[in-house]
Amino acid sequence: MKFFVDTADIDMIRDLSEKGMVDGVTTNPSIIAKSGRDFIEVLTEICSIVAGPVSAEVTATRADAMISEGRKLAAVASNITVKVPLTWDGLKACRALTGDGHMVNVTLCFSANQALLAAKAGATFVSPFVGRIDDMGYDGMELIAEIRQIYDNYPALETEILVASVRTADHVKQAALIGADVVTVPPKTLQGLAGHPLTDAGLAAFLADWEKSGQSIG
């Protein structure tokens, strides 16, 4: 399963990349606004650090304008993935932009039928938002399992399932168990995956015993 980081925080992207944990990056208008930086400038910087897909979202709502914005964003770097919302206009823009040879991530997916439409439109990725479904009192991971089953039923559908709105370590684990292609994870959640109290306690005991032995490797 590929790990994308859901952020425009350059220091975090660099740090996690050095650890080999960043196969790609996702952004959205809220993340860019939070960064306080110029959209194109921050995208250019992210693409200079990360070789994998970097999602950049259009903000137009009509297909023609989305296509035009998508082409501008795609010109920033060859690894830009244009992100469009799961609306009929977004699906039309998806078809046109993939026709140009660009990668497209169809976002704001909340149902299996929407995911089926994204795949039919030739999306490179579809982004179901599990955390926001959980927020409504349903189980977001059930949607991932449904999409996985549907896509597996029709191998001609090549769209990758990119699990988004990930909030917890359990989301990451469940996505991997189901066989999602990608999870996009906020840096803090990704950093939390390595932590375990038994790892800390075990390491402390090993180091204490080593100290008592009086030996040194170096």
Site for ligand G3P, rule CB under 6 A? 6, 26, 28, 129, 131-132, 164-165, 167, 184
Residue 56 token pair = 């950049």
Under 8 Å between Cβ of 109 and 128 = yes
Question: Shortest gap between Cβ of 86 and ligand G3P (angstroms)?
Answer: 13
Q: Which is nearer to ligand G3P, 96 or 159 (CB)?
A: 159
SS (H, E, C) 114-183: HHHHHHHCCCCEEEEEHHHHHHCCCCHHHHHHHHHHHHHHCCCCCCEEEEECCCCHHHHHHHHHHCCCEE
Q: Which is nearer to ligand G3P, 72 or 167 (CB)?
A: 167
Minimum gap (Å) between residue 18 Cβ and ligand G3P: 23
Give catalytic status of residue 83 as yes or no: yes
Set 2, 19, 72, 83: catalytic member: 83
Handedness of CA 15, 19, 20, 22 (dihedral sign): negative
Which residue number, 8 or 63, has a Cβ lying nearer to ligand G3P? 8
Least distance to ligand G3P, CB of residue 214, Å: 51
**Annotated catalytic sites, by residue?**
83
